[in-house]
Amino acid sequence: MTNYKINEFFETIQGEGQYTGTASIFIRLQGCPVGCSWCDTKHTWEVENDLQIPIQQVFAKTVETPQWASLSANEIVEHIKLQGYRSKHVVITGGEPAMYNLIEMCDALHAHGFSTQIETSGTFEIKVPAKTWVTVSPKINMAGGYKVLASSMARANEIKHPIARQSHVEELEELLNTAPVSEGTLIYLQPISQKIPATKLAIETCMEKNWRLSIQVHKYIGIA
């Protein structure tokens, strides 16, 4: 039985990619060695054993902390029921969720009528069932020194790449040449921090390449 280290567990609207606008349950896992300088969840990077807390305290969090709780796949399903969540889509994020074997968790969720999605950097082997939607946001040349895996790119249902300048577009193009995606994989550009120049560049590039725009709807409307 696999136990998963959970930093956050909440219900909201998915604001990015193909599932934008979908009512979703987010499960944020603890642990990530990738080292993105602009990461907005750095509190999930380290796993400190003395910061383990009961799951009830995770649900009660009002600020971001590196504290985490340990749950099995069946316990995750049970706590979704206990919280009274109504969403039927579960987004597994991090941290870096692909550090974990997620098959057991996703299978348990599928058995209870949920759809599943993971959001990963693509730097770890992706272990999920075939029906899980895989979002790869490829983290290229980050401080941790991890390489984006060709197998992760090939497994992706969508690529979601944050950009601020032309060099970010070029690095994605280079990656797609060396680690191609499967036929039908959606490619999204996501302007970093909703800046006007980044948004303009993303729109122009999507028009040119027939890619898609992901605009982080949750940030525009001011929700988690």
Q: Which listed CATH number (1.10.8.50, 3.20.20.70, 3.40.50.300, 3.30.980.10) goes with 3-221?
A: 3.20.20.70
- How far apart (Å, rounded) are the C-alpha atoms in residues 85 and 43? 25
| Residue 26, helix vs strand vs coil | strand
* Per-residue model confidence as pLDDT tens digits over 15-61: 999 999 999 999 999 999 999 887 889 999 999 999 999 999 999 99
Q: For 151-180, what is the mean pLDDT? A: 97
Q: Is 28 annotated as a binding residue?
A: yes
Written as one string, the DSSP assignment of 98-150 is: GGS--HHHHHHHHHTT-EEEEEE-S-S-----TTSEEEE----S-TT-PPPPH
Supply φ then ψ for residue 65, to 5 degrees.
-140, 160
Give the neighbor-by-neighbor strand order of the sheet with 3-13.
69-72, 3-13, 23-29, 89-93, 115-120, 133-136, 158-163, 186-191, 212-213
Closest listed residue to residue 148, CA positions, set 46, 47, 36: 36
Q: Is 137 annotated as a binding residue?
A: yes
Q: Is 212 annotated as a binding residue?
A: no
Which amino acid appears at position 157 of this protein?
A: N
| Residue 196, helix vs strand vs coil | helix
Quick check: 153 and 182 in contact, CB under 8 A?
Answer: no
- How far apart (Å, rounded) are the C-alpha atoms in residues 106 and 126? 12
Q: Between vectors from CA 50 to CA 45 and to CA 55, what angle results, nearest 5°? A: 80
At 193 the pLDDT is 74
- How far apart (Å, rounded) are the C-alpha atoms in residues 80 and 59? 11
Q: Is 206 annotated as a binding residue?
A: no
- pTM for the whole structure: 0.95
Q: Between vectors from CA 222 to CA 220 and to CA 223, what angle results, nearest 5°? A: 120
Q: Is 36 annotated as a binding residue?
A: yes
Q: Is 38 annotated as a binding residue?
A: yes
* Per-residue model confidence as pLDDT tens digits over 96-125: 999 999 999 999 999 999 999 999 999 999
Q: Is 139 annotated as a binding residue?
A: yes
* Per-residue model confidence as pLDDT tens digits over 198-223: 999 999 999 999 999 998 665 655 66
Supply φ then ψ for residue 200, to 5 degrees.
-60, -45
- For the chain, give the number of residues: 224
At 86 the pLDDT is 97
Q: Is 107 annotated as a binding residue?
A: no
Q: Is 222 annotated as a binding residue?
A: no
Q: Is 95 annotated as a binding residue?
A: yes
Quote the DSSP letter at residue 186: E
Of all residues in the chain, the percent with pLDDT exceeding 90 is 88
Quick check: 173 and 146 in contact, CB under 8 A?
Answer: no
Q: Is 14 annotated as a binding residue?
A: yes
Q: For 185-189, what is the mean pLDDT? A: 98
Written as one string, the DSSP assignment of 189-201 is: EEEGGG-HHHHHH
Tokens of 220: 């525009």
Q: Is 32 annotated as a binding residue?
A: yes
